[in-house]
Amino acid sequence: MTLKNGVFLYLITLAVFFVIDMIWLGIIAKKFYRRFLGPLMSPKVKWGPAVLFYLLFIVGLLVFVIRPALAGEMPLYALLYGALLGLISYATYDLTNLATLKDWPLIVTVVDLIWGTVLGGAVSYISVLLGRTFLKL
């Protein structure tokens, strides 16, 4: 894969991730997080750490899931291993919070683990399909 194709694939994946996650955070789960994490939530989003997570998570999906799935023409691989990487990534955050923060809600951890799994799988699968289409791989 050329550098140009790699950058294009990164941008595709970033866009897919951003759209799906913003629908989740901004519409579907907004009230859920306010209900269970309201007192812990900052009045303003700290965009630096959020953007850094997105950028790094996309690198992980590309290196460990999307590029191998494209090379082997295995979209199902992308779905399954993307889901696994999403689960592991979100579990790192949520299980650490559950273990170390007073009154961290178990329901938030459960929902986040499910969301990370769905998000990682969906983003990887869609990105592989788009990558195959637009990059003619």
pLDDT tens for 54-84 read 999 999 999 999 999 999 999 999 999 999 9
- Tell me the C-alpha distance between 103 and 84, whole Å: 27
Mean pLDDT of 19-31: 94
Mean pLDDT of 1-14: 94
Predicted local confidence at residue 136, as pLDDT:
77
Which residue's structure tokens are 């901004």? 26
Predicted local confidence at residue 137, as pLDDT:
62
Predicted local confidence at residue 45, as pLDDT:
86
> Global pTM?
0.93
> Where do the DSSP E strands lie in the chain?
none
Counting runs of H as helices and runs of E as strands, what totals does the chain give?
6, 0
